[in-house]
Chain A
């Protein structure tokens, strides 16, 4: 079982950092607060918050999970009055997560601004499947390949901006992005020889900065 201990200015910040490192959402982990932390007065007497997070177990037969996920997505979309096709772009056995691709016409409405509607849809599907199976299973939902394209775009963007940072020797901050997209940036540049990445800001405004590595 994977465990991780992290620190941050506040408990919430520490949780965010841990989730980002694990690349999972909050419903996947158990959080144990080790130290609450104090902000102190003007930084005097400040104490870091420390938490331990533990990944909750996942499992089950993948084929069953796929069937369950398909059923939930179908019912959900049907109750929204939309007609779509579902495809599963992966074999029915092997590694999780389960990936479901929703296909059809005029699906922009299911993606929403910055993929927000899609994120809500995925969250609800995970919640319902977790309730039915009594355990958490990673399920990724895509609409007409939107996420796939977006991730590819972000990978290219990250590499391009890393180049700029290297040349200008200045830090570049990207626009605010959801957790999964920030993760793509972090992962793309994880092994980069010249730059490193860091997330800053809270909640909706959280964004990735690309900065020069200190040698």
Chain B
């Protein structure tokens, strides 16, 4: 799951070195994927009306479903 978000984020931001993705399971079997980018790149990974973030969540859901878990993407 981490790989997917990392690949997308690094490919669309202007400072790929500022991209940090972590993955951790919380108590309710939900995997939380945290995406951190340089402040100037935040708009890019969110997109107009959250469109980019929404698309990333949709693709993340595919991976989560295959692995039998639920996932949540947080942009911090």
A116 to B55, CA, bound (A): 9
- Which residues of B line the A interface, CB within 8 A? 3-4, 6-8, 11-12, 48, 51-52, 54-56, 58-59, 61-63, 65-67
A26 to B52, CA, bound (A): 12
Mark A72-86 against chain B: 1 for CB-CB distance below 8 A, else 0.
Answer: 100110011110000
Report the tally of A-B residue pairs with Cβ distances under 8 A.
Answer: 54
Residues of A within 8 A of B52 (CB): 123-124, 127
A121 to B3, CA, bound (A): 15
* 23 CB-based A-B contacts, threshold 8 Å: A76-B4, A76-B7, A76-B8, A76-B59, A79-B3, A79-B6, A80-B66, A81-B67, A82-B66, A109-B65, A109-B66, A112-B58, A112-B62, A117-B61, A120-B54, A120-B58, A120-B59, A121-B59, A123-B52, A123-B55, A124-B8, A124-B52, A131-B12
Residues of A within 8 A of B62 (CB): 80, 109-110, 112, 117
Number of interface residues, chain A, beta carbon within 8 A: 21
Residues of B within 8 A of A26 (CB): 48
A214 to B12, CA, bound (A): 49
* B11:A128 contact, CB within 8 angstroms: yes
A120 to B47, CA, bound (A): 13
* B12:A79 contact, CB within 8 angstroms: no
A132 at the binding interface (Cβ < 8 Å): yes
A120 to B62, CA, bound (A): 11
